[in-house]
């Protein structure tokens, strides 16, 4: 049996909280809470144009609208993370056919709460990871951190070819709600961001999924203050410049360049996993890459069903590719996460099927064709 000897991003696991706020509820809240706002009509139009149908949040909306203080918010972040992350991690390990002791590095990304020691230490102590497991918490790349985590996992598996990396993205954007922030950008953010936990394993050997072949990063000069946090006594205040939607024009060439360096054409790839920062981001990038809107269907679905879930977006979009049944072996694709800086984290990869899983599927197909499969057809093989 021949195993692929390159890093492979396996099927992610995703979880969203049980509390839901619909687009209609968001608009009604904006009208009631900000009834006298001079730019309310503009804010409502921008929120409607996001295309977000619903979002999931870790607290009921009545609690979310309150501000008990930065300490209480961060304590809630830690308790929710510890309650919700382990189950998602367990499913991600199962998806990769690995155990906790097989993991050599944990990359934990989040921009919506702070812990020190990081959640990586808590996971090692709680879930049976080895005590020599390396830790890489990333907290300041915002929405780009999902792409960065995939790229750093790729780098690690390149340095240590038989290593396995666990990626965890934990974002509770609703805990960053600031009732006193009344700028149009803040009001738009209140209707755009959602909460989610995602995890995935990058295997150095074997695995079905996206075999990572190249990665890169690009920063748009002099855009540091376009997406930012102002850290105050009340916590993280999200700053969003009105020029952010225009960033795809300078970023698209970076995507073309990276693909070209690998001998690929960024306009003719088989699949695209793009950060769903908003509909204009996706529409503009389609235009600058000269691809059809359908090419970004996974990212659009994430935005519609969950909103912008920050660093978890790219993992959720990858999960939707798996849900669609994956794609043809050796199909070429791109992953791109965008965030503060303005920064793009870009990866190229090809779809690959683990030989062991392929053999199991072939055997099952053969049994079903001969009518001897019995109850095997009801058993998961991936």
Residue numbers annotated as active site: 143
What is the three-class DSSP state of 314? helix
How far CA 30 is from CA of 26, 59, 179, 237, 306, in Å, comes to 6, 18, 11, 18, 19
Task: Give per-residue burial for 156-194: e unless 16+ CB within 10 Å, then b.
Answer: bbeeeeebbbbbbbbbbbbbbbbeebeebbbbbbbbbbb
What lies within 8 Å, CB to CB, of 231 at 6+ separation is 237
Q: Please tell me what DSSP assigns to residue 3.
A: P
Give the closest residue to 364 by CA, choosing from 216, 303, 253, 356: 356
- φ, ψ of residue 9 to 5 degrees: the values are -80, 115
Q: How far apart are CA 320 and CA 338, in angstroms?
A: 19
One DSSP character per residue, 141-185 reads: SGGGHHHHHHHHHHHHHHHSTT-EEEEEEEEEGGGG--TT--SHH
Give the closest residue to 216 by CA, choosing from 320, 144, 135, 157: 144
Per the rule left: phi > 0, alpha: psi between -120 and 50, beta: everything else, 170 is beta
What lies within 8 Å, CB to CB, of 176 at 6+ separation is 73, 112, 193, 235, 236, 238
Task: Give per-residue burial for 361-381: e unless 16+ CB within 10 Å, then b.
Answer: eeeeeeeeeeeebeeeeeeee
Q: Please tell me what DSSP assigns to residue 111.
A: S
Using alpha carbons only, give the angle 187, 188, 194 rounded to the nearest 5 degrees. Answer: 105
């Amino acid at each position: 049996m021949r195993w692929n000897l390159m890093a492979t991003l396996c099927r992610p696991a995703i979880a969203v909280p049980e509390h839901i706020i619909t687009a209609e509820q968001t608009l009604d809240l904006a009208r009631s809470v900000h009834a006298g706002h001079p730019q309310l009509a503009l804010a409502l139009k921008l929120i409607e144009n996001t295309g977000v149908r619903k979002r999931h949040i870790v607290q009921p909306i009545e609690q979310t609208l309150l501000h008990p203080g930065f300490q209480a918010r961060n304590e809630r972040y830690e308790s929710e993370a510890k309650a919700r992350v382990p189950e998602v991690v367990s499913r991600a390990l199962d998806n990769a056919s690995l155990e906790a002791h097989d993991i050599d590095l944990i990359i934990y990304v989040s921009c919506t709460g702070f812990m020190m020691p990081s959640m990586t230490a808590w996971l090692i102590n709680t879930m049976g990871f080895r005590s020599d497991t390396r830790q890489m918490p990333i907290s300041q790349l915002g929405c780009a951190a999902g792409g960065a985590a995939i790229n750093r996992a790729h780098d690690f598996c390149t340095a240590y070819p038989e290593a396995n990396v666990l990626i965890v993205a934990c974002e509770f954007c609703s805990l960053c709600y600031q009732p006193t922030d009344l700028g149009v950008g803040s009001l738009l953010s209140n209707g755009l961001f959602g909460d989610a936990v995602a995890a995935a394993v990058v295997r150095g050997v074997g695995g079905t999924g996206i075999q990572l072949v190249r990665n890169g990063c690009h920063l748009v000069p002099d855009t540091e203050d376009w997406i930012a946090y102002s850290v105050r006594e009340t916590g993280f205040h999200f700053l969003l410049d009105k020029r952010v939607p225009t960033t795809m024009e300078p970023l698209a060439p970076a995507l073309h360049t990276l693909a070209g360096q690998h001998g690929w054409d960024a306009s003719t790839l088989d699949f695209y996993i793009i950060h769903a920062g908003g509909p204009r981001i996706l529409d503009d990038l389609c235009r600058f890459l000269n691809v059809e809107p359908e090419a970004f269907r996974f990212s659009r679905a994430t935005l519609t069903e969950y909103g912008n879930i920050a660093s978890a977006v790219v993992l959720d979009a990858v999960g939707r590719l798996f849900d669609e049944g994956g794609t043809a072996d050796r199909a070429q694709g791109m992953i791109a996460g965008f965030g503060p800086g303005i920064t793009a984290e870009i990866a190229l990869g090809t779809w690959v099927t683990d030989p062991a899983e392929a053999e199991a599927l072939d055997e099952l197909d053969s049994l079903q064709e001969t009518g001897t499969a019995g109850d095997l057809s009801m058993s998961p093989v991936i």
